[in-house]
Structures are given as C-alpha cells and as structure tokens.
A and B are shown apart, each in its own frame.
Chain A
Amino acid sequence: MKKFWHATVDAFETFLRVPGTVTLKGAHVRDAIDLKRIMIIAVISVIPAAIFGMWNVGYQHSLAIGDGRLQILANFWYGFLRVLPLYVVAYGVGLFIEFFSSGLRGEEVNEGYLMTGMLIPLIVPVTVPLWMLAIAVAFSVIFVKEVFGGTGMNIWNPALVTRAFLFFSYPSAMSGSECWISLKSGEKLVDSFTGATPLALDGAAAQYGTGIWDYIIGTIPGSVGETSVIAILLGAAILLWTGVASWKIMLSSVIGALFVGGIANLCGTGIPCWEHLIIGGFAFGTVFMATDPVTSAQTECGKWIYGFLVGALCVTVRLFNPGYAEGMMLAILLGNTFAPLIDHCVVTTALKKA
C-alpha cells in the first residue's frame, strides 16, 4: 500500500523540485532536459489556441443570440465558464486513472497526460455533456494507454481516441449544426444564424458572411480550440523553436493535403486546395496531434511519409466521404496505426544498405 501511494507523493514532490537523485552507472552527467520540461513546453504551446477558443465560444454565443457587439472580456468570461468544466473533467478523470495505474505498476507518474488533458477539451464541441466526456476520457486512458503500459507504449494518440469514442458513440452530440454553439437555457437563435462549421456547409459558408479571414482568425463555429489558425501558428512557432515537435511532420502533412486537394481541383471538384489548411481541425491536428512523439513515426524518413499520409488522408475523407465532413481525426488515427509499419520499412531498407 505504501508503495502504491509512493507514485502519487513522488509525482507531487518532483513537480515542485528536481529530485536529488544521482546517476548510478554509465554517463556520470546528464542533460538538464526531462519529460516534465518537454511536456510543459507542449502545454504552453496550446495556450494561445485555448484562450482564443474560450473567447470564440462566447463570441459565437453572442452572434447566435443576435448580439453582434465585440465584447472581448465578456465573451471570454462566458467561454471560460463553459470550457472550464471540460478541463476539470478531462484532467480529473484522466489524472486519477494515471495516478492509480502508476501506483499499481509501482512506477513514477509519467507527465504525458498533462498534454493529453490540455488537448481534449479543445477538440470537442463545447456543448458535449460532461458525463459523456468522462466516459470517453476513461475509455481512452485505460484502453489506449494504460493497458499498453502507460505513456510511451501507446499506439494511438489518447486525446484523439477520446474524440473518436465520443464521435462514434454519441454522434448526435458531436456533429450537426447545434453542438458547436453554447446557449443558456431559454435562449433562441436568431433567424439568419447557422452554427454549422464551414466544412459541413461544403462551400456554402460564404452566404452566411464567413470568409477567408474569419477562418484564419478563427471567428467561426467549431471545436473549442481548432478554429483560429493564427493561435495555432503561434503554438507551432513555440513547438518548432524549441524543437519539441517535428517540422518534418507538419510540413509533409501540409504537402499531403495540398496534393490531394490539388488533384481534386484539377478534376474540378472541391474547395480550393489551400482552404483545406485553414478550416476544420487540419491546422490543430497537424500542429498538436500528428506530431505526438510517441504515436507518430520514429525515424526521420518515416516522418515525411507519415505526415504526408495524414494530410492526404484528411483531405481524402473530407472530399470523398459524404458521411463525415471532417477527416483529420480519422486521418491521424490511421496514420498512428501505420506509423510502426512505415518505420519498419524505413529501418529495414536503411539497414539493408549498410
């Protein structure tokens, strides 16, 4: 029992101060880097998208009830109060399971969930019922991560599996045109308003007065954190400057999306290929989720292939599957599934040459 609690106590202590553990063998000195640092950088990189997402929840609410005034603080506060419960549930449920299983395994608590918990509320509709979110988080942390042995051993990105679980189990809460807008009880939508995302409108968004700059700034309906390309690019800049995420994956994902979108354009269908990059979850997924070091490709060459696959699949689903307006989630999960195979081919080929 004492050992069981050790993981929890240790997690809190090492959170506050670096332990006085010294190297026992091998290299006598070690780099100052640890997973806590890498994870905190990743978490910080998501903050711009999170803050903008909270404001946008409030802004979309104002639009929906016909209040077109730009009230920055009031809108943020409204959104903050709506998103906060999602964070409480995501971190509460996830960290409880994480601490519990670390205790069972007798290992120190891995910091990986800090990033997962940061992402989950940003990739779901703000109206998702909290009990659904709790079940989805529990499913994903237990069956996608802990049964494989915890962070580092998982095959799929746990945050995305949380979303996939919600998407397939409770489709009505995850798609359509109502779920993206948070309303207080009794409030009514104004007539000219639609809460549908630009992707679901399939090119018809312009008639509702949304344009390219709305996509880039992010003043459109969508999952909490995914709408603002600017906020996401800020995060990308942090990740690339610190080298925490791979620029190869980001770049090749963009190339993959442009490639498939471009082919469709040549065949005369679909929105202009570059628009795929700024609507839906593409930017968010490419920057924060496809680059997860555990579930993406391991090798440098594999990263190019993996990123390309993710971008290409995302646009393929968007264009050719009438059932799903958005393809990023499925594209990354499929990319995760194929990453070990891609690496296997890369490693085998490289070693044959030697």
Chain B
Amino acid sequence: MSKNIVLKKGLDIPVEGAAELQLSKTVSPDIVAVEPVQLKGFSARLLVAEGDKVLAGSPVMADKKNPEILLVSPVSGTVKEIVRGEKRKLLAVTINADDKQEYLKGEPACGNADEVKKALLSGGLWPLIIQRPYGIIADPAIYPKAIFVSTFNSAPLAADTAFTMSGRLGEIQAAVEALGKIAPVHIGTTAGSAFCKIAGAQVHVFEGRHPAGNVGVQIDAVSPIHKGDTVWTLSLHALAAIGKYLLKGIYDVRRKVAVAGPAAIEPSYVETLPGAPMKTLAAYYGGHAEGLRIVSGDILTGRSVGEDGYLGFFDDTVTIIREGTEKEWFGWAKPVRFSQFSADHSYFSWLTPWKKYAMDTNLHGGPRAFVMNDAYYSKVLPMNIFPVYLIKACIEGDIDKMEKFGIYRVLPEDLALCEYIDPSKNYIQDIIAKGIDLMLKEMA
C-alpha cells in the first residue's frame, strides 16, 4: 500500500558538479578512523589501547550510559593512535588496516523484537539508528512509535540511492523485516523507485523538491512527532549494513560514495568505508586542497573536514567546493549577476532554471537581524512549522515556545534551506542545534 504525498514547498539548488553514475574506483584505505563526533548523545568509553589487534566488527568504544551500545571497527588491523582533544576528549581512534580483511563473526537471531535489538547491539550496528526528537543515538530500552527510512536524497549533489543501492535490495528487505518486529516501518520513496516493492513496510511516495528527501520532512507529512513520541530513523546504508549482518553475520559498512562538487575533478562514485581518510580521494581535488573546502556530506548539512579528515559515519557524499574569499565589486548593485544563483526574484536567475552554478562558500553579505518575514522562509520548508518563530524561540532559549513551535519535529538539517536563502545571513542550523542542546539539558 502506498500513498502519494506532494510537497509543494522547497528548493533545488542548481549547483554544478554532480557525480557521474559510475564507480571510478574501490578504495581500500590503509588507515581508518572511528570517530564518535557525529553520534549525538554518545559519550565514548575507550575499549582498546594503541597496538591492539582488532577485527572488522570488534568493539572500539562503548557508551558510558548504555555500555551495551558499541562502536566497532570497520576494518581488521592494529590500533594506531588514540586521538584526544581539549580536556582529553576522545576524538578518534585510528586503525591501520590489514591487507586481508578478517571479520568478527556474529550469530544474529531475530525471532522477536528483543532478539533483534540484541543482535544490533552486539553487532555494533546500533549507532546507525537515530532517535527523534533531538537526533540522538537510540535508547535500547525504548520501543519507538515508528521507524522511518527515506530512500532518496534530495539535497544538492547528494548520492543517487538508485545507483548506490543497486544489488542490495535483498539486504534492505531483510533489515526491514527484522526492524518491523520492533516497530512499524515506514519507507519514504519516489514514484517508480525500486524501493516501492519493499515488503513489510508502509511505503509513502513523495514528490517535490528538496527537502522532500529529508526523513524529518517525511515523518512530518505522515505522522508528526509530538511531545512524548519517539521515532527512529535509519539511512539506506544503515539498512543495507544491518541486512548484511543479519544474513551473513559480518559488520560490513562498505558503501558507494558520491564525490561531487563544482571544484571536484571528474566527479563520480567510489566504494569506500566510513572513516576512510579524505586523502584517499586526492585525485578528485588534484592533491592540493588549498583554497578548497572538503565537506563530508552534502553542501547544506555536511561537515568541513579538510584533507586530513575522514569520511563521516553516516555520510555517502563528499563535496568539494572552492572557498569564496574574493571580494566582489558592486556585487549586490549589479543589475544581473550571471555567475551567482539566487532563489529570490530580485536577481534574475529564476528566469534560467536550466543553468547550473559553480558555487563557492562566500556568505554573500553580512549578518543582520531577521528582516524578511516568516513566509519568506517557510516557502522552502514543507512542514506545518513557522520557522522564524521556532528560530527566535531557540535564540531566546524559551523552552515553552520551542515546544509550541515544533522543536520536537525538526533537526537542524530540516531548516538548512532556510539558512541557505536567508538574506540576513544567520546560522540557522546552529541556532536550532543549540536549541536542541538546551532541550536535552533541561529535559534530562
């Protein structure tokens, strides 16, 4: 049973440098990093020491509050270094990979919900589950209201899941069946996609521009999160990895990653591992990252990691863009700016919808108070939310208002487009993230 949902609001940013749908190489990194940084709510306790031997799937870190949540090594090899930051905060564990990969074999059982949970916890797959509200690591004690999976990316230059997931439908199906024992699974997809055929889940067909592919937007269209609700979300990569573990008993998170962006040389796909160093992608930026920004993730929500960084735990896109440090003479005063895109009609790029732009990281203005009204921002947010009200509530730190205006329903990524189009150049995702942190602190 599928249901068609048309989202009228949104914006597809016409940035050039989309990855060509071909696998240019398979990267087997010499070294990988296990980084807890992207796992909100995971406070890492170290389980290995430098020089220890690990297998692919061996625990490297555990959560301090829920010690059964494990973060495991994606490769077999030797622990090279424990990287710590300020106040000895654990930033990463780097592991030298063996030439031949050996996997820790698990024997997952998934007869009922508790067995599935146990399998995911012991297999190291638990951190792939994100819990809403707040986008934190899932609590194993909870049975969520529903589990949502978005099967398509709508963000600019993001990986095409039909390509990255080809041949993995069996694994995804196995994962959906197992997760369905914990809570009803909802799949958000597009018309005609291969994922419409997944059994054991409610399929919702979406149509619309970005952020239609954001799982948060899809949840909101199907069944909005209210106070007291808990929902889990997983990416397709997570489902594929879970399926593989359930079918074969091994932790294999190898994935096809789109390397894209206006500054990327011959953008295409590579097969690699999360935690692989960006230097393994040097061919895409010509070996010199000076003046470039290397983003793990898409250009709206990714993290700038630099050439010394690693591919993020959840990411399947790497975007390379130029740093926009040049000053532009009379930029705003020119009647037309052919090289710049604006969704606003006071420039004329909306008259040439076929054109793509080599965007850079320039802010195109200076920070101001909010001048344009709520309706200006809500035209790119297909949710029943008043974004400026929510943003201002977060700035104020007013818990009651944040609740009222929908803090449970959003993650920063859902408002990324509001940030993109903001003429007042506020860091809206950061404001929302701080609001969520405050909620976590106050509601704890």
Interface residues, chain A, CB within 8 Å of chain B?
Answer: 10, 14, 16-38, 40-41, 107-108, 110, 112, 149-153, 241-244, 246, 293-294, 296-300, 303, 343, 347, 350-351, 353-354
Contacts and interface: CB of A to CB of B under 8 A. Distances in A.
B344 A293 contact: no
Contact of B341 (A20, A32, A151): A32
A38 B301 contact: no
Interface of B is mostly: loop
Nearest to B372: A293
A37 B423 CA distance: 9
A38 B346 contact: yes
B370 interface: yes
A46 to B, nearest CB: 15
Instruction: Please give me the 9 A-B residue pairs with the lowest Cβ-Cβ distance, nearest first.
Output: A34-B365, A152-B369, A18-B331, A32-B340, A26-B429, A298-B374, A243-B345, A33-B344, A32-B342
Given A299-B374, A299-B375, A108 B343 contact: no
Interface in B402-444: 404-406, 412, 416, 419-425, 427-430
Contacts of B67: none
Given A23-B363, A29-B360, A33-B343, A300 B372 contact: no
A76 B122 CA distance: 84
Contacts of B260: none
B299 interface: yes
Interface of B: 13, 15, 224, 293, 295, 299-302, 304, 319, 321, 323-333, 337, 340-347, 349, 359-376, 378, 384, 386, 388-389, 404-406, 412, 416, 419-425, 427-430
Nearest to A301: B375
18 contacts: A18-B327, A18-B328, A26-B419, A28-B304, A30-B365, A31-B344, A32-B342, A33-B365, A37-B346, A38-B372, A40-B332, A108-B367, A110-B368, A149-B369, A243-B345, A244-B345, A298-B388, A300-B375
Contacts of B372: 38, 293
Among A24, A33, A351: residue with most chain B CB under 10 A: A33
Nearest to B406: A351
Nearest to A248: B375
B386 A27 contact: no
Given A20-B324, A28-B361, A294 B375 contact: no
Contact of A296 (B304, B342, B344, B373): B373
A322 to B, nearest CB: 36
A17 B365 CA distance: 10
A174 B420 CA distance: 45
B302 A22 contact: no
Given A22-B363, A299-B374, A27 B300 contact: yes
Contact of B421 (A26, A31, A35, A351): A31
A293 B373 CA distance: 6
A28 B320 CA distance: 10
Contact of A19 (B224, B299, B347, B366): B366
Given A18-B365, A27-B419, A29-B420, A243 B384 contact: no
Contacts of A31: 341-344, 364, 420-423
B327 to A, nearest CB: 5
Contact of A347 (B329, B346, B389, B424): B389
B293 A28 contact: yes
Contacts of B404: 351
A243 to B, nearest CB: 4
Contacts of A151: 368-369, 371
Given A25-B429, A37-B347, A297-B373, 8 more contacts: A14-B366, A27-B299, A29-B299, A30-B420, A31-B422, A38-B344, A110-B368, A299-B374
